[in-house]
Amino acid sequence: MVRSLSFLQLFVILAVGYIGGVLLYRGIPEADFTFLVQLYDSRAAQNSSASLLIQLATVLSFYVLAIVLSLSKRTRLFVMLVGALKAVLFGLASSHILAGGVNMLAYTGWWFPFKLLATFLVLLFCWTLSPPFFTRKSVKRTNNLRIPLMIAGAGVVLFFADKAVYSILGG
């Protein structure tokens, strides 16, 4: 029960963050968040093209920020906010793409599934760095980074799979 409750929490964070991003899109003018959308995924801001290295650095920045926040007891509480921020940016960029009139087949076949999985991987990564209070052991333990690094590696593999599908679909 405890493990299923934790995954349920991750899905709730994902859903609330996505809906929050959609509502944020409706609440502020487009010029105010175009830079954020471009940082999240340069392909979402249809008129820009960032290099592969910058896009990879953007993907890895969420993982690095979560690791940095997990190193201190004072900032450990903010680790899950990194995943929630990624979910909000996912909703914001998704709304921006749909409002821009993108082809729905490309959106449903390429952008949405890859970004949904990438956002869930970041949430899972953050959860393994800072587990919920009810799954922590009472004895002091050292941080094992093997599982989080495997999740981050899966995120990088997903990034390159996303690039391959995007190039096949003619992006």
Question: Where exactly are the structural domains of the chain?
Answer: 2-168
Task: Output the six-digit token pair for 145.
Answer: 């980074």
Q: Which residue has the higher pLDDT, 94 or 40?
A: 94
**CA–CA dist 48, 137 (Å, integer):** 47
Q: In this predicted structure, what is the pLDDT of residue 5?
A: 54
Average pLDDT over residues 46-69: 85
Q: Please state the rounded mean pLDDT for residues 25-30.
A: 81
Instruction: State yes or no: pLDDT of 165 exceeds 90.
Output: no
Q: pLDDT digits over 82-109, tens only? A: 999 999 999 998 888 888 777 787 788 7
How high is the pLDDT of residue 87?
Answer: 94
- Span 106-128, mean pLDDT? 89
**Does pLDDT of 1 surpass 60?**
no
Burial class (CB in 10 A: 0-12, 13-18, 19+), 106: middle
Provide the 8-state DSSP code for 72: S
Q: What is residue 76's DSSP assignment?
A: G
pLDDT of residue 27: 87
Q: What is the 3-state secondary structure (H, E, C) of 113-148?
A: HHHHHHHHHHHHHHHHHCCCHHHCCCCCCCCCCHHH
Q: What is the pTM of this model?
A: 0.85
* Confidence class for position 74, pLDDT limits 50, 70, 90: confident
Mean pLDDT of 107-127: 90
Sign of dihedral through CA atoms 140, 151, 7, 76?
Answer: positive
Residue 170 has pLDDT above 90, yes or no: no
